Amino acid sequence: ETGVTQTPRHLVMGMTNKKSLKCEQHLGHNAMYWYKQSAKKPLELMFVYNFKEQTENNSVPSRFSPECPNSSHLFLHLHTLQPEDSALYLCASSQAGEHNEQFFGPGTRLTVL
């Protein structure tokens, strides 16, 4: 049990669909992250929230829209995605600070048809 949960675990969607990924952390952390993991590529940081405020947006296309209603929940809203967006989307949390390890959820395996 990692303390970070993600739903759904698997998602197949068409390019015109709208869907949302959900992440919840039960660790009392104040920083949350969205990553994209593609096969044989490094983890790509997408968004960072510290104390519910977005502090990083690494040139992510606008078809990905994050939402952080409170320090325990993080959403990634998806709209008009492309097949190349198919990947594993990982959520992580940590205590905001320099050297604090990140705890990861199990990820959502997304396939865009």
Partner 1 sequence: GQNIDQPTEMTATEGAIVQINCTYQTSGFNGLFWYQQHAGEAPTFLSYNVLDGLEEKGRFSSFLSRSKGYSYLLLKELQMKDSASYLCAVMDSNYQLIWGAGTKLIIKP
DSSP secondary-structure letter at 80?
S
Q: Residue 93 is which amino acid?
A: S
Which value, in Å, is the radius of gyration of the alpha carbons in the chain? Answer: 13
In terms of CB distance, is 71 or 93 closer to partner 1?
93
Q: Which is nearer to partner 1, 16 or 41 (CB)?
A: 41
Stretch that binds partner 1, among 12-20, 22-30, 35-43, 63-71 (CB under 8 A): 35-43
What CA–CA distance (Å, rounded) separates 109 from 59? 22
- CA atoms of 74 and 8, how far apart (whole Å): 13
Whether 71 and 29 have beta carbons less than 8 Å apart is answered as yes
Q: What angle is formed at CA 20 by the lines to CA 18 and CA 24, rounded to 5 degrees?
A: 175
In the complex, what is the shortest distance from the CB of residue 48 to partner 1, in angstroms, rounded to a whole number?
8
Question: Contact region for partner 1 (CB under 8 A) — 18-26, 68-76, 78-86, 104-112?
Answer: 104-112
Residues 39-58 that bind partner 1 (CB under 8 A): 40-45, 48, 56
Decide: 112 and 83 in contact? Cβ < 8 Å: yes
Stretch that binds partner 1, among 21-29, 61-69, 78-86, 95-103 (CB under 8 A): 95-103
Q: Is 99 in the site for partner 1 (CB under 8 A)?
A: yes
Residues lying near partner 1 in the complex (CB under 8 A) are found at: 2, 4, 40-45, 48, 56, 90, 98-99, 101-107
